[in-house]
Amino acid sequence: MKRIVKNPEERRGELIASAQQFFYTKGYENTSVGDIVDAIGVAKGTFYYYFESKQAVLEAMVEEIVSQSIALLHKIVADQTLDAIRKWSQALTVVNNFKVEHKDQLLAFARVLQRPENVQLQHRLREESLKMVTPELAKIVYQGAEEGVFSTPYIDEAAEIALTIMESLSNTLTDILLHPENYTEPAAAAARKAAAAEYAIELVLGAPQGSLAIFSAGALDAWFNHIPHQYINTKGDVQ
């Protein structure tokens, strides 16, 4: 086959992108190294020139994804003009808007991720984001404590626990979205779980009740009523 030499960084990027494409659609276990290299027209050896193993390209991919998200989060956390509560809600809003914008794609991904052979991917994403997000969240909690809106003797741990609760909520909501048939009233179940998570997080952070919103009013509708986000106002009514 014709040999095309490229800038190593570009090649590496191509390999990661190709791997990502397959991991997202076929899942990690069901993707072979052959799939990855065939799609971009290089030999298998090239793959192993850039990555030690199949697992290694997964790590690289996860690192890329998480570090991109962290950059977004960091911008909010570093913003000097926002108080802690605003930072909190803005961080969640940004994440949620992003998710709603890519709803279909993310749901497809979630469906793949859920399959037992893809637990690897799921676990690495979870572990890495927990590791990276916790410190940023802790900064917000620390600021909140200084501003007197949060109160806890265990700032770092509270941040971690809050994140764990949100992650657990996220898993539950994903399950409801993917298997609504298991719930008599999916939207109501989701709303209740979200409210419980919000309540628990406020307790853990020592924040006044109702001060932290996980979903801005009506945001859940975008997920459960199949209405594009931009058509939802803050009262949750359809305009």
Partner DNA sequence: GTCTGACTGACCGACGGTCAGTCAGTTTGT
Partner DNA sequence: ACAAACTGACTGACCGTCGGTCAGTCAGAC
Which stretches of the chain bind DNA, using CB under 7 A? 1, 3-6, 8, 11, 31-35, 41-46, 48-49, 53-55
Non-local CB neighbours of 238 within 8 Å, separated by 6+ positions: 227, 231, 232
Chain centroid to CA 173: how far?
A: 13
CB of 197 to a second copy, least distance (A): 7
Partner from DNA, a second copy, none contacting 179, C-beta within 5 to 8 A by type: none
CB 158 within 8 A of CB 205: yes
Q: CB-based burial of residue 99 (10 Å sphere; 0-12 exposed, 13-18 middle, 19+ buried)?
A: middle
Footprint of a second copy on 146-165 (CB under 8 A): 152-154, 157-158, 160-161, 164-165
CB of 146 to a second copy, least distance (A): 19
Chain centroid to CA 34: how far?
A: 29
Stretch that binds a second copy, among 43-51, 68-76, 116-124, 220-228 (CB under 8 A): 116-124
Nearer to DNA, 48 or 142 (CB): 48
DSSP letter for 207, please.
Answer: P
Buried residues in 207-226 as b, exposed as e (16+ CB within 10 A): beeebbbbbeebbbbbbbee
Taking CB under 8 A as the criterion, the residue among 74, 109, 199, 216 binding a second copy is 199
Taking CB under 8 A as the criterion, the residue among 30, 46, 93, 122 binding a second copy is 122
* Phi-psi map region of 47: left, alpha, beta (phi>0 left; psi -120 to 50 alpha): alpha
CB of 62 to DNA, least distance (A): 16
Nearer to DNA, 19 or 76 (CB): 19
CB of 164 to a second copy, least distance (A): 5
C-alpha to C-alpha distance for 111 and 109, rounded to whole angstroms: 5
Structure tokens at 12: 């590496």
Nearer to DNA, 118 or 134 (CB): 118
CB 133 within 8 A of CB 94: no
Binding mask 45-64 for a second copy (x = CB under 8 A): ----------x---------
Please provide residue 34's backbone torsions phi and psi, each rounded to the nearest 5 degrees.
-60, -45
Give me the residues that bind a second copy (CB under 8 A), please.
55, 116-117, 119-120, 122-124, 152-154, 157-158, 160-161, 164-165, 168, 192-193, 195-197, 199-200, 203-204
